[in-house]
Structure 1
Amino acid sequence: MIRILVTDGMESSGIDELRKSGFEVVEKFYSPEELGDALKDFNCVVVRSATKVREPIIDKALEGGNLKLIIRGGVGVDNIDVKYAESKGISVRNTPNASSASVAELAIGHMFAAARFIGVANATMREGKWDKKKYEGFELGGKTLGLIGFGRIAKETAKRAEALGMKVIYTKRSGKEAEYDNYEYCDKEELLKKSDFISLHIPYDKVNGPTIGEKEFELMKDGVYLINLARGGIVCEKALLDALNSGKVRGAGIDVFKEEPTKNMDIVNHPRVSVTPHIGGSTIEAQTRIGEEIVFIIKETFK
Structure 2
Amino acid sequence: MKALLLENIHPTAVARLEEAGYDVDLRSRSMSEEELVHALPGVHLLGIRSNTHLTEAVLEKSPDLMAVGAFCIGTNQIDLPAATAADVAVFNAPHSNTRSVVELVIGEIIVLARRLAEKTTRMHDGIWDKSAAGSHEVRGRTLGIVGYGNIGSQLSVVAEALGLRVVFYDIADRLAHGNARRMGSLEELLAVADVVSLHVDGRPGNAGLFGPQLFDQMKPRALFINASRGMTVDTEALRERIISGHIAGAALDVFPVEPKAQGDPFESPLRGLDNVILTPHVGGSTQEAQEEIGQFVAGKLDSYVRHGSTALSVNFPEVGPAREPGSARLTVLHDNVPGVLARINLILADSAVNILGQSLSTRGERGYVVTDVSGELEESVLSQLRDMEHTLLLRALPAHG
Where does 1:176-255 land on structure 2 (aligned, <5 Å)?
176-177=174-175, 180=177, 182-186=179-183, 187-207=185-205, 209-255=207-253
Q: Structure 1 pair 181/136, CA: closer, same or farther in 2 (3 Å)?
A: closer
Contact kept, 8 Å, 2:211 with 2:234, in 1: the verdict is yes
Match for 2:169 among 171, 175, 182?
171
My pick for the range that moved more, 277-286 or 86-95, is 86-95
Q: 2:270 aligns with which of 245, 267, 271?
A: 267
Question: Which of 132, 136, 144 pairs up with 1:138?
Answer: 136
Quote the offset at 1:208 in angstroms: 6.1
Which residue number in structure 1 is paired with residue 95 of structure 2?
97
Structure 1 segment 44-59 matched on structure 2, within 5 A: 44-59=45-60
Q: Counterpart of 1:183 in structure 2: which amino acid?
A: A
Could you tell which deviates more after superposition, 125-134 or 188-197?
A: 125-134
Q: What secondary structure is seen at the aligned counterpart in 1 of 2:61?
A: helix
* 1:133 Cα offset (Å): 2.2
Amino acid at match of 1:105: E
| Alignment-derived partner of residue 2 in structure 2 | 3
Higher share of residues assigned strand: 2
- Which of 266, 276, 279 is the matching residue for 1:276? 279
Give the aligned partner of residue 43 of structure 2.
Answer: 42
The alignment's TM-score, normalised by the length of structure 2, stands at 0.71
Tell whether 2:148 aligns with 1:150.
Answer: yes
Per-residue deviation at 1:105? Answer: 0.6
Query: Is the contact made by 1:204 and 1:210 (CA closer than 8 Å) also made in structure 2?
Result: no
Q: Following the alignment from structure 1 to structure 2, what is the Cα–Cα distance between the partners of residues 208 and 300?
A: 33
The TM-score, its normalising length taken from structure 1, stands at 0.93
Q: Match of 1:200, as an amino acid?
A: L
Query: Which of 125, 131, 135 is the equivalent residue of 1:127?
Result: 125
1:288 to 286, 291, 314: 291
Shift of residue 182, structure 1, vs aligned partner? 2.6
* 1:29-52 Cα distance to aligned partner (Å, 9 max, x none): 544212123212111100012211
Cα distance per residue 1:241-293 (max 9 Å; x no partner): 111112111111111111113412x4121012111111111111011111111
CA shift for structure 1 position 131:
1.4
Rg larger for: 2
Q: CA offsets, 1:181-240, max 9 Å, x none?
A: 631111211111111111000123435631111111121111110000111121111111
Matches within 5 A, 1:50-69: 50-61=51-62, 65-69=63-67
Give the Cα separation in 1 of the matches to 2:178 and 2:140: 18
Separation (CA, whole Å) in 1 of partners of 2:12 and 2:234? 39
Total equivalences in the alignment = 297
Residue type at the aligned position of 1:225 = L
Residue 290 of structure 2 aligns with an amino acid whose one-letter code is Q
SS of residue in 2 equivalent to 1:233: helix
Alpha-carbon contact 2:69-2:298 (below 8 Å) kept: no
Distance verdict in 2 for CA 1:107–1:208, change over 3 Å? closer
Q: Distance in 2 between matches of 1:207 and 1:147?
A: 18
Report SS of the residue matched to 2:179: coil
Contact kept, 8 Å, 1:121 with 1:135, in 2: the verdict is no
User: Quick check: 126-135 or 190-199, which moved more?
Assistant: 126-135
Which residue among 297, 301, 326 is the counterpart of 1:298? Answer: 301
1:66 deviates by 1.6
- Over the matched positions of the two proteins, sequence identity in percent amounts to 31
Q: Which runs of 5+ in 1 are unaligned?
A: none
Unaligned runs of 5+ in 2: 260-265, 307-401
- Structure 2 distance, partners of 1:14, 1:173, is 35
SS at match of 1:174: coil
**Aligned residues of 1:116 and 1:135 also touching (Cα < 8 A):** no
